[in-house]
Amino acid sequence: MDQLLINSGFPILSVLIFLPLIGAIVLLFIKSESLCRNIALATTSVVGLLSIRLLFGFDTTTAKFQFVEHKSWIEAFNINYTLGVDGISILLILLTTFIMPFCVLASWSYIKTRVQAFMICLLIMETAMLGVFVALDFVLFYVLWEAMLIPMYMLIGIWGGPRKIYASIKFFLYTLAGSILLLVGIIWLYTVNDHSFFIPDMMWKDYALSSQVYLFIAFFLAFAIKVPMFPFHTWLPAAHVEAPTAGSVILASVLLKMGTYGFLRFALPITPEATVLLMPYVLWLSIAGIIYGGFTALAQSDMKKLIAYSSVGHMGFVTLGIFVLNIDGVKGAILQMINHGITTGALFLCVGMIYERTHSRELRSATGIGKYMPIYITFLAFFSLSSFGFPGTNSFVGEFMILAGAFEFSTSQNNFPYLALAAIPGAVLAAAYMLRMLQKIIWGGTDNPDQSWLSDINTREIVTLAPFLFFVFWIGLGPQPFLDLIHTSVYELLQHFDIHHGQAVAAAGSILH
């Protein structure tokens, strides 16, 4: 327990987790649709404001878990209610609490049926997602990891598009299959760790290499499906296309990050030798995802599909940064997880606003609207620039650090930087498909449909998009406060690789090339 800084004051993490759940219970007794919307917005907003308290008490000089809460839960199996935050999780918690109020706002007029049930699903989702990022007991983590499947399944299956049943079942089955393998790994760890589910005690143990390989494969499949990495990505476009706007935002901004968080929290510190041994294959799968996602997005005429496939490429950059196992790469990957959540979440909000007006996600239905929706186009243009990493925007910082980490990885092995050079076309493809989309939407061609009946975005929609744009430029022009939050935890994580597994890292570099 020496990895923990026990919180003896206000139980901020429990409040953040259970306040949305309490809000969902309250909504069970509310019949008024407008009141349901207001209560959901108030609840998510209060959670967002309370989460800022984490910043004021967070110590950036230690890698220990902070704000820790520890209570016995099921004594017979040594299962505890243990929560904590470190530099790897704090930004993901803040991203989740930031996103949720805007998911409620985006659904204000979009969701017209079963409003009460929809808002309940959003609040339960928030409880589960926050719990995943703060759980330090493996059973607690797994319960919350699985719990988020049900409300997301319902969001897609009830309020989704024409193929909602297919998309919701595919999402559920894919992620459940990975979760079963994760459960097997958890049970094995329980048996070899004195029947304890305490996550920090499982890190950096000297497990046999063969055991680590099997465990890494179980972890990898569970988390790669969630990311999703190529070739486990096929559930994502269907889920994004059929999900309501809020569902797409939650999927892109938070749920995909659970996979990359799992790599950082479990795969690297619990199976370090296996991570190094199998790292070359993960790196090249990441490159494949970057290139595949870019080319596939370039071929899309459905705006949601375009952004969904772009996520495959962007998350490929994140896994590339994680598995080069150096400071620049991992810090860039964590920052890019946040950047992707902000930018892609905002792009899905933009698509939802057009869909509410035209009832179509096809590019041809939105062709040439720049003349009639100038405010909307301004937001869309900046988010598109951010998506392909234009200098001055948030994604540029993350991608730059990841590519710097990839070059550093190659030079540390005295090899030609094949890995970094292979990733660069992904950035070019991102510019190609985003600029193509922008050109069609803003100007179109000579045979544009009549768009004069379209109204520009209203005050509620401006309020929804403006905070996203604020963070696009804040992180893009002044990322240091965000990097300071994660630096110590990332440094401590990689120190273990440098101290205990330096030779294995060198061996993996030679395998890669």
pLDDT tens, residue by residue, 323-379: 998 899 999 999 999 999 999 999 999 998 898 888 888 888 888 888 888 999 999
- Show the tokens assigned to 159: 């309020």
**pTM of the complete model:** 0.91
Give the residue-averaged pLDDT of 199-217: 87
Query: What local confidence, expressed as pLDDT, does residue 3 receive?
Result: 64
CA distance 372 to 70: 56
Q: What is the pLDDT of residues 58-74, one digit of tens each?
A: 888 888 899 988 898 88
Distances (CA, A) of 177 to 167, 183, 215, 365: 16, 10, 15, 38
Contact 512, 419 (CB under 8 A): yes
What tokens appear for 129 in the block?
């997602």
Give me the pLDDT at residue 282, please. 92
Which segment of 182-191, 326-335, 498-507 scores lowest on mean pLDDT?
498-507
Say whether pLDDT at 415 is over 70.
Answer: no
Question: Reduced to 3 states, what is the DSSP secondary structure of residue 160?
Answer: coil
Structure confidence at residue 5 as a pLDDT band (50, 70, 90): low
pLDDT confidence of residue 42: 95
Tell which residue, 335, 358, 338, has the closest CA to residue 346.
Answer: 338
**89 contacts 485 by C-beta, under 8 angstroms:** no
| pLDDT exceeds cutoff 70 at 411 | yes
Among 3-12, 42-51, 346-355, the least confident range: 3-12
pLDDT tens sequence across 276-304? 888 889 998 999 999 999 999 998 888 88
- Predicted local confidence at residue 511, as pLDDT: 45
Residues in a beta bridge with 217: none
Query: What pLDDT, on the 0 to 100 scale, is given for residue 347?
Result: 93
CB atoms within 10 A of CB 129: 30
Query: Which tokens belong to 212?
Result: 């680590």
**Beta bridge pairs of residue 302:** 362
Mean pLDDT over the full length of the chain: 88
What pLDDT does 238 receive?
86
Q: Pick from 213, 324, 219, 327: which is nearest to 278 by CA?
A: 213
For the residues 385-401, what does the mean pLDDT come to? Answer: 91
pLDDT for 140 equals 93
Output DSSP code: residue 252: I
Instruction: Tally Cβ neighbours within 10 Å of residue 387.
Output: 28
Nearest to 54 by CA among 90, 1, 108, 6: 90
Evaluate if residue 456 carries a pLDDT over 90. Answer: no
Q: Mind listing the pLDDT tens digit for each residue in 78-126?
A: 889 999 999 999 999 999 999 999 999 988 888 888 989 999 999 999 9
| pLDDT tier, 4 (very low <50, low <70, confident <90, very high otherwise) | low
Phi and psi for 301 in degrees, rounded to 5?
A: -110, -15
Cα–chain-centroid distance for residue 422?
A: 24
Please report which confidence band the pLDDT of residue 416 belongs to, taking 50, 70 and 90 as the band edges: low
| C-beta of residue 39 within 8 angstroms of C-beta of residue 59 | no
Confidence of residue 235 (pLDDT cuts 50, 70, 90): confident
Domain boundaries along the sequence of the chain: 271-513
CB contact at 8 A, 231 and 220: no
Inform me whether the pLDDT recorded for 263 exceeds 70: yes
Q: Looking at residue 39, what is its pLDDT?
A: 94
SS3 per-residue string spanning 119-146: HHHHHHHHHHHHHHHHECEHHHHHHHHH
DSSP character at residue 367: T
Question: How far is it, in rounded angstroms, from Cα 170 to Cα 167?
Answer: 5
**What is the DSSP secondary-structure string of 178-239?**
HHHHHHHHHHHHHHHTTS--BHHHHTT----HHHHHHHHHHHHHHHHHHTTPTTS-THHHHH
pLDDT for residue 7: 67
Q: What is the DSSP letter of 42?
A: H
